[in-house]
Structure 1
């Protein structure tokens, strides 16, 4: 009778099978199990996810340095959607054109510089025209003409308004001696500021006129403006190329034509020194 005992003895890392016989022991080696040949690599999955999230974060940080608040809110929502399993912002995001904001910043800087230069020129003009106004006002006060001549400086011009009875007889375009002296003084002052355009404008009231010399108020206002400008140009150094005249007739009143006082205000000659920067 043969006695056979079959058992197994497990030793790491090899499993042995032992078969006992009456006349001896036979050992047989079995192969290792597959799951004992490799280390557990399940940790690589969360590690790869972490690297992916870090890469996405750095991309977002780089992109958000050149985007506006609206896109930043979209990125924030994208992160929330990604963490909750929703669609990502990066699926529909197109790249920002290079140097777009740089070009806008340069244009803005150029415009700001131009505005700053204009403002400096405007201030310089204001100083010059204020000094000219002060000199004319001084002449007006010294000669007792404060009720007949006035000056006004605004953002467009320095305007000298002279009533017609200071310059002309009624219905005439011939300057009286006092007005010639005034025109000569203004001409000397304008000579000191050669860079400004000068416009001489004539105005009348609405009372019609029709004579051999003046068929209409347009003719009268134009001839009066021309007469005053002609005296200004008697100064050879004043620069005649910057002068022009306009005859408005009764079309630009400054007061009502229903009263004698209002009509007197409307009959006037205006000398406008035009700003170069407005």
Structure 2
């Protein structure tokens, strides 16, 4: 009696297709990573061509390599340089321009232009004071934060007074024109020496004197009030020693500070 042949089982081989597709995509990914890491484009083109030939037989006319990898003439912009938008294409689309990079360049240029403008304004103020023979009692300096104009107490107020002298009005009239032209934030700071004032504290005295100068600049010369504020320092920021009469005179002062937009 003949034995019946056992029916041979055939395993399902459908899993091979998605597996091969996955391997193809992984290989394409590695090629992309390779392309981004290499700078020799000529060798990469040869490499891409060889793999394109291999996969074209199973991917049809649209090669995975050809679709995924395209060096062209574009350049990769790092995320920290490209900003949230990742950059934008310009011209023919072959170059990627970093938006944040352009903004940074514009900011640097604006700062340089402002520095030049402030330096020119400082020279104009000094020249105007010299021409009017008023430069002896006013110090004009350009610092990292802006223009500092220091008016000595001898031309501002009588001792213990908060009323502007007639002489200082001429100084303020001359200075105010340049302040208005610059159109920047202005701080008026009052300072005193270390001698206690009999009628009020040195803090109150320095604040009152700063307010008087501010009122004149805004109410008489037309400086924009939204651009002006005051500070009071009493005797905490002396320019000279308080041990001499000359030093105390220098310390009793009002400073007009025209601040830069960029520091």
Provide the TM-score with structure 1 as the length reference: 0.60
Matched, 1:204 2:192: yes
Q: CA 1:111 to 1:166, structure 2 compared with 1: closer, same or farther past 3 Å?
A: same
- 8 A contact 1:188–1:235 mirrored in 2: no
Q: CA deviation at 1:105?
A: 4.3
Q: CA 1:250 to 1:62, structure 2 compared with 1: closer, same or farther past 3 Å?
A: same
User: CA separation in 1, counterparts of 2:124 and 2:131?
Assistant: 11
Matched, 1:103 2:79: yes
- SS of 2:135's partner is coil
2:149 corresponds to which of 143, 160, 163? 160
- SS of 1:233's partner is helix
Matched, 1:222 2:207: yes
- 8 A contact 2:187–2:257 mirrored in 1: yes
- 8 A contact 1:187–1:233 mirrored in 2: no
User: CA separation in 2, counterparts of 1:150 and 1:59?
Assistant: 68
Q: How does 1:33-52 map to 2 (within 5 A)?
A: none
Q: CA deviation at 1:243?
A: 0.8
User: CA separation in 2, counterparts of 1:173 and 1:59?
Assistant: 78
Q: In proportion to residue count, which structure has more helix?
A: 2
1:170 corresponds to which of 149, 159, 163? 159
Q: CA deviation at 1:102?
A: 4.5
Q: CA RMSD in A?
A: 2.7
Q: CA deviation at 1:67?
A: 4.4
Q: In proportion to residue count, which structure has more strand?
A: 1
Report how many residues are paired.
Answer: 188
Matched, 1:270 2:255: yes
Matched, 1:246 2:260: no
Provide the TM-score with structure 2 as the length reference: 0.63
Q: CA deviation at 1:189?
A: 2.2
User: CA separation in 2, counterparts of 1:256 and 1:152?
Assistant: 20
Q: CA deviation at 1:170?
A: 1.5
User: CA separation in 2, counterparts of 1:228 and 1:143?
Assistant: 20
Structure 2, gaps ≥5 residues long: 1-26, 39-75, 88-97
Moved more, 135-144 or 160-169: 135-144
- 8 A contact 2:82–2:99 mirrored in 1: yes
The residue number in structure 1 matching 2:240 is 255
Structure 1, gaps ≥5 residues long: 1-56, 69-99
Q: CA 1:218 to 1:176, structure 2 compared with 1: closer, same or farther past 3 Å?
A: same
The residue number in structure 2 matching 1:77 is none
Matched, 1:135 2:124: yes
